[in-house]
Amino acid sequence: MADQGASRTAVVVEDDDDIRQLLVAVLRQAGFTVHPAASGVEAVEAVRQHDPLVTTVDVNLPDIDGYEVVRRIRTFSDTYVVMLTALSDEIDVLMGLDAGADDYQVKPFRARELRARIEALLRRPRTRHVGDGSAPPARPEPGADGVEDDHRRVERGLLVVDLDAHAVTVADAEVHLTRSEFELLATLAERAGRVVAKDDLVRALRGEEYDVGVFVSDAERRSLEVHMVNLRRKLGDDGGSPRWIQTVRGVGYKFVAPA
């Protein structure tokens, strides 16, 4: 697995020559050693060979599409993945995030915003989610003396969120969340009973403090909503009659389950 302490390496997956050159330039200016790829198969091999910290993936490629590229990458790599595409419908974003992407940028993109988003990703903990695309570490077992470790946990009925191990179970069954989905759930669970604004959840995903006045774009809010749809689906939660996550219309979300 790549290490943030190691040399900053990136793979750029883009079949358009001009856009590929732009992405290479942006990432080199950010201090990355960049390896470009023009097809999906080439991209998977580039990630396998170079073990990048960051990978940008275009959806429309000449062989396999970007969604399949991300799914294949996730079988062996925890590289941060940013998908880049002209497709902006919610279903397209949902497919990208569900495949294992960490962020989704719609073309045409602004170079400064892309660089800022990548730097925000790098501030998040790198939870391994290789094998099936999103599996978190298993929940720790009790010690030999039968006493559980001191991991921070939030337990609400059938739902258990282990904040330190980045593990989630529902009715003792492991729930496979992406890094972003886990961060959202953990942020809400730690503030159970309090409404958390959408902009604050976006900042949590960036690894930033609340209420710092940093601009949050409409695209980031839409991305947050897609993450929330995915999270609820994986938890088996219903937005209309929530067991755990309630939508507070016009404001944000609240973790509502009683202790």
Strands across the sheet containing 173-174: 153-156, 159-162, 167-170, 173-174
Cα distances (angstroms) measured from residue 229 to each of 87, 150, 193, 225: 19, 31, 20, 6
Through-space distance between the first and last CA atoms of the chain, rounded to whole angstroms: 37
pLDDT of residue 138: 40
Range of the domain at 185: 153-255
- pLDDT in single tens digits along all 259 residues of the chain: 444 444 689 999 999 999 999 999 999 999 999 999 999 999 999 999 999 999 999 988 999 888 899 989 988 888 999 988 876 666 666 677 777 888 888 887 888 888 888 888 887 655 544 444 444 444 344 444 343 445 678 888 888 988 888 889 998 899 888 778 888 898 898 888 889 998 888 888 776 655 555 677 777 788 788 888 889 989 998 777 888 899 998 889 999 866 5
Q: Confirm whether 40 is domain-assigned.
A: yes
Residues 226 and 165 both lie in one domain: yes
pLDDT of residue 52: 95
pLDDT of residue 74: 87
Q: Confirm whether 59 is domain-assigned.
A: yes
Closest of 166, 142, 170, 176 to residue 156, by C-alpha: 170
Q: How many structural domains is the chain composed of?
A: 2
Residues 157 and 250 both lie in one domain: yes
Residues 205 and 163 both lie in one domain: yes
CATH code at position 73: 3.40.50.2300
15 Rama sector, left if φ>0, alpha if ψ -120 to 50, beta otherwise:
alpha
CATH code at position 192: 1.10.10.10
Residues 159 and 239 both lie in one domain: yes
- pTM recorded for the entire structure: 0.56
- Based on its alpha-carbon atoms, the radius of gyration of the chain, rounded to whole angstroms, reads 18
